[in-house]
Amino acid sequence: MNSLVKLKEVISERKEFQLERLILFSDAVFAIAITLLVIEMKVPALKEMTAHDLKDALIEKIPEFFGFVISFAVIGQFWINHHRLFGYVTGYTTNLMWMNLHMLFWIVLVPFTSGLNSRYGGLDEVWMIYCFNLFMIAMSGYFMARYVNNPKRNLSAIANMPEVKKLSYIRSMCIALIFLLGALLCLFNTYLTSRAARIIFLLIPISLSLSNRLVGRTGAGDTSQRETDQSES
Contact 120/158 with Cβ under 8 angstroms? Answer: no
Q: Give the E-state strand segments of 11-73 in sequence order.
A: none
What separation in angstroms does the CA of 86 have from each of 37, 45, 160, 195, 213?
25, 44, 16, 36, 24
Torsion angle of C-alpha atoms 112, 114, 119, 121, degrees rounded to 10: 130
Q: Which residues contact 182 (CB under 8 A, 6 or more apart)?
A: 127, 131, 197, 198, 200, 201
| Angle between helix 94-120 and 2-39 (nearest 10) | 10
Q: Per-residue pLDDT tens for 41-86? A: 888 888 888 888 888 888 888 888 888 899 999 999 999 999 999 9
Over residues 163-217, the pLDDT tens digits come to: 888 888 888 899 999 999 999 999 998 999 999 999 998 898 888 888 777 766 5
pTM over 0.85: no
Q: What is the DSSP letter of 43?
A: P
Distances (CA, A) of 105 to 94, 99, 133, 137, 141: 16, 10, 10, 9, 12
